[in-house]
């Protein structure tokens, strides 16, 4: 899982969001309760205009850890844009 997380976040940092999503989804198959994977996945989904998917994974991350102000902010932005 660390491999997919590191590779996914590296691709995210290079703004290669589609490729990042593929790696992060693989990482999420191994551990679907890692907020680092879910947060990166949510951001990448958002950047690729997959807002429903972004909202789903951001909500999953916040169910695991409510104390994530940046994730709450992104979730609020996604919710506003979905309206």
Rounded alpha-carbon distances, angstroms, from residue 46 to 1, 2, 3, 61, 73: 22, 22, 22, 15, 13
pLDDT recorded at residue 31:
79
The domain in which residue 25 lies consists of 2-82
pTM of this structure: 0.94
* CATH code, 11: 1.25.40.10
Domains of the chain: total = 1
Task: Please determine, for residue 1, whether its predicted confidence score (pLDDT) is greater than 80.
Answer: no
DSSP the chain: -HHHHHHHHHHHHTT-HHHHHHHHHHHHHH-TT-HHHHHHHHHHHHHTT-HHHHHHHHHHHHHH-S--HHHHHHHHHHHHHH-
pLDDT recorded at residue 39:
97
Instruction: Give 12-61 pLDDT, tens digit per residue.
Output: 999 999 999 999 999 999 877 899 999 999 999 999 999 999 999 999 99
């Amino acid at each position: 899982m660390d491999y997919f997380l590191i590779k996914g976040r590296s691709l995210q940092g290079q703004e290669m969001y589609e490729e990042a999503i593929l790696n992060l989804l693989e990482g999420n198959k191994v551990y679907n309760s890692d907020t680092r994977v879910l947060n990166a996945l949510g951001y990448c989904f958002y950047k690729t205009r997959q807002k429903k998917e972004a909202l789903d994974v951001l909500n999953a991350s916040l169910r695991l850890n409510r104390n994530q102000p940046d994730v709450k902010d992104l979730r609020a932005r996604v919710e506003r844009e979905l309206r």
